[in-house]
A and B are shown apart, each in its own frame.
Chain A
Amino acid sequence: MIEITDLQRIYHMGTVEVRALDGVTLNIEKGEFLGIMGASGSGKTTLLHLLGLLDLPTAGRITIDGLDVLHLTDYEKTMFRLYKLGYVFQDYALVPDLTVMENVSLPAMLRKDRTEEQVKKDSFSILQKIGLCDRRDHLPRELSGGQQQRVSIARAMVNKPDILFADEPCANLDSENSKMVLELFHEINEEMKQTIIMVSHEDWHKDYFHRIVRLRDGRVMSDEKNISAH
């Protein structure tokens, strides 16, 4: 369970103070597929980055499964990201010099509790799940945008993280590929009971979310269950 209390993030741009997040308080249950929606500049990506320990808040508190993550050391945060969190970025963010298989294996290779055999097996099985097993020896530049995003999801999932963060994962995809990615998230959430927190500004995406949090000017405007979700 994630508990967010009065989270604030203020940027200073010269003499101007920008309140990207202005007192957000939320609780996210395990296994939820949460959509964070809102217009550009509403603070949704900032919130995702703070939850994902990629940035530090100006004020507020985040606890994940009872652990106050903001007080972890730099190394502890890195390990927390490696073992507990997964990320899918808008621009796929694959390592261009690594093959699909190597990109997917990379986070798993760093885990101390995985043998080389397990890493290979897990990577292979996740690639099978996303249907890119036959492209495992290809480089990212040899794949389409949709395929690259699926590889990015596979990389995020290979360590079976407790929480998966997705920052507008469909922003660079056409509607067909977007649908494919959303279906994949849906399957992951259904089968693995994975907590997924996804940022989106596409209204039709809300059909996939169990719960939708809408932000405006760094504040929660609405927080509602989506009973019509897939």
Chain B
Amino acid sequence: MGKKELKVAFLLALRSLQRGSRSSTILTILIIGMCFTNMIFLPSMFSGIGQGITKQLVDYETSNVLISPKSGDQYITDLGATLDLINGMPGVQRASPQFSKGATFKYRQRVLGVSVRAISPMDEKEVSPVYTKMVAGSYLGEGDTGEIIIGKPMAGDASVKQEDEFQPSLGGVRVGDSVTVEYGNGYTKDYRVKGIYYTGWSPVDNAAFVTWTDMEQVEGKTLDKADYITVRAKPGYSEQFIKNELLGYGVGVNGKVQTMTDLLSKSVGKVLQSFAIINMVSLIVSVIITTVVLFIVITIKTLNSRKQIGILKAIGVDKEVIMHNYGFQVMILGVLGIILGIIITLALAAYMYVHPIVTPEWSAYLYITPWDLLINSVILFCAAVVAGYVPAYQVSREDIQSAMRA
């Protein structure tokens, strides 16, 4: 197959698309575009959910590195010294400890069991964006006592009856209201609600935060222990680097050091793995559908052109030229369809970025990387070429007499 033959095949393909049935060409491009969108939409949405969950885990639970009590221990002890050590290490933006205590909240006639988390607001602001999620009032200040911030679902809505609530709440607490908190150790205190936040991350939205100083009052002593410490890495420093540094400095003696990736593989790893399996099945189904659709489209096209194929062969056009003519047609249609698919997908991604599908547990948007677009484009293009060449190969081998009689 020489250059001249390929050139003639390309000319025939181009002219057929330019001057043939415009509606058929547009329809085929649209089908390929929709197949591409179908291929990439569901996996991208799962990726988006996965990314969202990961981001929320990092933002609200683990940060980049989590230090938890060693196996058999309940708390990380010697907290002050540990924090000083961590905060002085290269690559560490900030370390923030948390200490949780079970409590019962009372507001008017409502009673609700909640976990109260003690934080150091200045430190916490460096590792978690909860302070940016205030929907009413303001975040805790470093020296605050007698003040509390609570999640919006926990605060509730006064206009919703208790029996109609999706989850139990305090029935419409507002900023400035006073709530009574009875801790597990019997200590009871009235707090003024300083702020209400909403992060979309259920474990945080159903918790309340007080300052470390306040929790020390609850405990009745200086609190030199923590449930866990979250560590935020400075930009440019990897989690693994921080983990190695922490272990190198002996933090591992006092607590268990795990990166976010270590934790992800344990916690949501199975979920993400399930997503990956669903994505693979969805991809295979989409590729099969695309191949079959294109096979039908090109088969119809070749069957409708049988007579013309016979004539071309009669005047000395080689069957390879005829086959490549249809091959080029499907390649051009494939490329245009993929471009359309990319446009549709990116438009959907942009729309869903602004208007994500929000559920109580997660927000779904399309997470698409250039690599995803490239891989899906290559797969679809290959499927299109196979689907186009098979009928083209068959029809180009038909004998001239049968083709011309068609």
Task: Give A116 to B241 CA distance when docked, in angstroms.
Answer: 64
Task: Give A89 to B310 CA distance when docked, in angstroms.
Answer: 12
**CB pair A87 B15 closer than 8 Å:** no
- B366-386 vs A, Cβ < 8 Å mask (1 yes, 0 no): 000000000000000000000
Interface residues of A in 69-117 (CB under 8 A from B): 74-75, 78-79, 81-83, 85-87, 89, 93, 95-98, 102, 106-107, 109-112
**CB pair A106 B2 closer than 8 Å:** no
**CB pair B8 A109 closer than 8 Å:** yes
Looking at the assembled complex, report how far the CB atom of B31 sits from the nearest CB atom of chain A, in whole angstroms: 21
Given A54-B401, A106-B8, A112-B2, decide whether A97 and B16 contact each other with a Cβ distance below 8 A.
yes
Q: List the B side residues contacting A44 at CB < 8 Å.
A: none
A193 interface contact, C-beta 8 A: no
A52 interface contact, C-beta 8 A: yes
**CB pair B401 A110 closer than 8 Å:** no
A29 interface contact, C-beta 8 A: no
* Chain A residue at minimal CB-CB distance from B404: A54
Given A49-B401, A95-B12, A102-B11, decide whether A81 and B314 contact each other with a Cβ distance below 8 A.
yes
Task: Give A49 to B4 CA distance when docked, in angstroms.
Answer: 27
Interface residues of A in 32-91 (CB under 8 A from B): 49, 52, 54-55, 74-75, 78-79, 81-83, 85-87, 89
**CB pair B311 A110 closer than 8 Å:** no
Looking at the assembled complex, report how far the CB atom of B6 sits from the nearest CB atom of chain A, in whole angstroms: 11
* Chain B residue at minimal CB-CB distance from A85: B316
B318 interface contact, C-beta 8 A: yes
Tell me which of B8, B308, B319, B400 contacts A110 (CB under 8 A).
B8
Task: Give A49 to B405 CA distance when docked, in angstroms.
Answer: 13
**CB pair B8 A89 closer than 8 Å:** no
A150 interface contact, C-beta 8 A: no
A184 interface contact, C-beta 8 A: no
Main secondary structure, interface of A, reads mixed
B5 interface contact, C-beta 8 A: yes
Q: List the A side residues contacting B20 at CB < 8 Å.
A: 97
Looking at the assembled complex, report how far the CB atom of A28 sits from the nearest CB atom of chain B, in whole angstroms: 20
**Which of the four size classes fits the interface of chain B?**
20 to 34
- B392-406 vs A, Cβ < 8 Å mask (1 yes, 0 no): 000000001100100
Interface residues of A in 141-156 (CB under 8 A from B): 155-156
* Chain A residue at minimal CB-CB distance from B313: A78
* Chain A residue at minimal CB-CB distance from B316: A82
A130 interface contact, C-beta 8 A: no
Q: List the A side residues contacting B18 at CB < 8 Å.
A: 97
Looking at the assembled complex, report how far the CB atom of B400 sits from the nearest CB atom of chain A, in whole angstroms: 5
Q: List the A side residues contacting B2 at CB < 8 Å.
A: 112
Task: Give A52 to B315 CA distance when docked, in angstroms.
Answer: 10
A139 interface contact, C-beta 8 A: yes
* Chain B residue at minimal CB-CB distance from A89: B311
**CB pair A78 B319 closer than 8 Å:** yes
* Chain B residue at minimal CB-CB distance from A75: B318
**CB pair B316 A79 closer than 8 Å:** yes
Given A106-B8, A110-B321, A112-B4, decide whether A81 and B316 contact each other with a Cβ distance below 8 A.
yes
Looking at the assembled complex, report how far the CB atom of A179 sits from the nearest CB atom of chain B, in whole angstroms: 25
Given A54-B400, A55-B401, A102-B11, decide whether A78 and B316 contact each other with a Cβ distance below 8 A.
yes
* Chain A residue at minimal CB-CB distance from B7: A109
B30 interface contact, C-beta 8 A: no
Task: Give A106 to B311 CA distance when docked, in angstroms.
Answer: 12
**CB pair B15 A102 closer than 8 Å:** yes
Given A54-B400, A112-B2, decide whether A78 and B318 contact each other with a Cβ distance below 8 A.
yes
Q: List the A side residues contacting B318 at CB < 8 Å.
A: 75, 78-79, 110
Task: Give A122 to B164 CA distance when docked, in angstroms.
Answer: 87
**CB pair A106 B314 closer than 8 Å:** no
Q: List the A side residues contacting B12 at CB < 8 Å.
A: 95, 97-98
* Chain B residue at minimal CB-CB distance from A49: B401
- B270-294 vs A, Cβ < 8 Å mask (1 yes, 0 no): 0000000000000000000000000
Task: Give A93 to B11 CA distance when docked, in angstroms.
Answer: 18
Given A55-B400, A109-B7, A110-B4, decide whether A97 and B19 contact each other with a Cβ distance below 8 A.
yes
Given A95-B12, A98-B15, A102-B11, decide whether A52 and B317 contact each other with a Cβ distance below 8 A.
no
B352 interface contact, C-beta 8 A: no
B346 interface contact, C-beta 8 A: no
B134 interface contact, C-beta 8 A: no
* Chain A residue at minimal CB-CB distance from B2: A112
B348 interface contact, C-beta 8 A: no
Task: Give A95 to B305 CA distance when docked, in angstroms.
Answer: 10
**CB pair B400 A83 closer than 8 Å:** no
Tell me which of A52, A74, A79, A96 contacts B314 (CB under 8 A).
A52
B312 interface contact, C-beta 8 A: yes
Q: List the A side residues contacting B317 at CB < 8 Å.
A: 78, 82, 106-107, 110
Interface residues of B in 6-46 (CB under 8 A from A): 7-8, 11-12, 15-16, 18-20
Tell me which of A49, A87, A97 contacts B315 (CB under 8 A).
A87
Task: Give A155 to B18 CA distance when docked, in angstroms.
Answer: 22
Tell me which of B5, B19, B314, B319 contacts A54 (CB under 8 A).
B314
Tell me which of B4, B19, B311, B319 contacts A93 (CB under 8 A).
B311
Tell me which of A79, A87, A95 contacts B308 (CB under 8 A).
A95
Looking at the assembled complex, report how far the CB atom of A153 sits from the nearest CB atom of chain B, in whole angstroms: 12
Residues of chain A whose beta carbon lies under 8 Å from any beta carbon of chain B: 49, 52, 54-55, 74-75, 78-79, 81-83, 85-87, 89, 93, 95-98, 102, 106-107, 109-112, 139, 155-156, 159
**What 4 A-B pairs have minimum CB-CB distances, sorted nearest first?**
A82-B316, A97-B19, A81-B316, A93-B311
9 A-B residue pairs with CB within 8 Å: A52-B314, A79-B316, A81-B314, A81-B315, A81-B316, A89-B314, A95-B12, A95-B15, A110-B316
